[in-house]
Amino acid sequence: MRALVTGAGRGIGRAVAEHLSGRGYRVALTARNEDELHKAAAACAGETLVVPADITSAVDQVFDRVEAAWGGVDVLVANAGAGSSAPVHRITDEDWSRMLELNLTAPFRCVRRAVPGMVAAGHGRIVVIASVAAKRGDPYVAAYTASKHGVLGLVRSAAAELAGAGVTVNAVCPGYVDTPMTDTTVAEVAAKTGRDPARVRATLAAKQPVGRLVSPAEVADAVWFCVGNGAVTGQGVDVSGGAVQS
pLDDT in tens, 68-83: 999 999 999 999 999 9
Examine the pLDDT at 246 and tell me if it is beyond 90.
no
Q: What confidence category does residue 125 fall into, taking pLDDT thresholds of 50, 70 and 90?
A: very high
pLDDT at 186: 82
Examine the pLDDT at 169 and tell me if it is beyond 90.
yes
- State the catalytic residue, choosing from 25, 140, 144, 176: 144
User: What domains does the chain contain, in order, with CATH numbers?
Assistant: 2-175+216-239 (3.40.50.720)
Q: Is 144 a catalytic residue?
A: yes
pLDDT at 182: 86
Contacts of residue 177, defined as CB under 8 A and 6 or more positions apart, other chains included, come to: 11, 12, 213, 214, 215, 216, 219
Examine the pLDDT at 218 and tell me if it is beyond 90.
yes
pLDDT at 241: 92
